Structure 1
């Protein structure tokens, strides 16, 4: 089974959804026959870090939301993350443009380290307050998962993997992705949002049983369960 995951490194629900899927796979008997491929997506292609300006102020201005509302919303997200063992540090978080990080991730994927770089970048942003648009930071983080600094530097100083990142983003538009995380199972079944662990397990089982059906992309209906995801406009739920 192949799972394609569209996500962004600065999307809080992408990290939560990733961890919930992983926990579901821990209890899925055929997990050793599942491969995960991470696809690029940018929530804010125009994102820019402004030194001295904290995350709350930046987000408040971008979304036109009162500062108290922003802090309350992020506190709720922090609590959701904590429930599955993730520690979000919104107080020191640095608003980052992720395009170059996605290009480095493509290099990592080429070297069979896509899973490792995705986890490293997410943890670096949400827990360690790293600036993911800083080239030296990207080189250091990539080296930690086994990439050669000179290769990463070459990517960052050229246009390498730009087309690959843009291709992922274009495909997302074509298949109707309106928010991330967005999961596609065997190029037939789609699940949107950071679904609960039990929902992911249900979907894994369903897809495994029906994998030989017509290869048409279908949305898995998850009943009344709430989900959370990020769009280009906001992070929320339904």
Structure 2
């Protein structure tokens, strides 16, 4: 028996490159699974806040936020958004920055940990990112997060209790502390088997290649069957 490859992904719900990276990872893993000896992979998402000081209700659009946060002109900010929109389209994602509601993401990260406890983390991560980047949903509001939790197959009342109690805040902070220990200062960041680091929204082919390489290493390390 060969152990599964573990991929730990640090990302932020409000990071446009993280959703692109997520989709490319999924495509890369799907391509790798077509081999006769398909890699077994476990993907776990971890919390990273790009801008923890962002208010729940940010006044202005995404270009305004970028201009303020990066110290650039609104025109330069819009150019950045246009570029990432084009890259997202190549990954099959339709970003709507005209609808996007910039917000603090800590509650969304708490919800991801609740979903992980319930075995629905992947579904929740996809639902949150889609809601944020393509639908203009407000992910800083508990009511909105509870509704999205229900859409991802989770119990709404239990999700509300988890968010209002704050019982997953420590789990969010632990993820952030681990990111700091790894020296991660930007996302998405992928840690493969705890020993290989991959930074940024790499193309799908890059993920295919690395999981095949690591899977070959697993097979070499696996004990022989008597």
Which structure would you say has the larger Rg?
2
For structure 1, the 5+ residue unaligned runs are: 215-238
2:140 to 128, 133, 149: 133
* 1:5 corresponding residue in structure 2: 9
Question: Matched residues in 2 for 1:42 and 1:171: separation?
Answer: 13
- Relative to total residues, which structure has the larger helix share, 1 or 2? 2
> What SS does structure 2 have at the residue aligned with 1:79?
helix
| Alignment match of 2:20 (pick from 16, 32, 39) | 16
Conserved in 1, the CA contact under 8 Å of 2:39 and 2:211?
A: no
Partner of 1:33: 40
8 Å contact kept, 2:9–2:43? yes
The 1:182–1:52 alpha-carbon spacing in structure 2 relative to 1, beyond 3 Å, is closer
Alpha-carbon distance in structure 1 between the residues aligned to 2:219 and 2:51: 37
Q: Which moved more, 1:48-57 or 1:199-208?
A: 48-57
Structure 2 residue ranges without an equivalent (≥5): 222-226
TM-score, length-scaled by structure 1: 0.86
| In structure 2, distance between residues paired with 1:139 and 1:50 | 18
Structure 1 residues 1-238: aligned runs within 5 Å: 1-29=5-33, 33-50=40-57, 53-211=60-218
Alpha-carbon offset, residue 194 of structure 1: 0.5
- In 2, the alpha carbon distance for the partners of 1:135 and 1:201 equals 37
Give RMSD over aligned pairs: 1.6
Count residues with an aligned counterpart.
Answer: 214
Counterpart Cα distance in 1 of 2:88 and 2:57: 26
Moved over 6 A (4+): none
- Report the Cα distance in structure 2 between the residues aligned to 1:157 and 1:17, rounded to whole angstroms: 30
Normalising by the residue count of structure 2, what TM-score does the alignment of the two structures yield?
Answer: 0.90
> 1:186–1:211: 8 Å Cα contact kept in structure 2?
no
Greater relative CO (CA pairs within 8 A, separation 6+): 2
Does the 8 Å contact 2:57/2:103 carry over to 1? no
1:68 and 1:112, CA in 2 relative to 1: closer, same or farther beyond 3 A? same
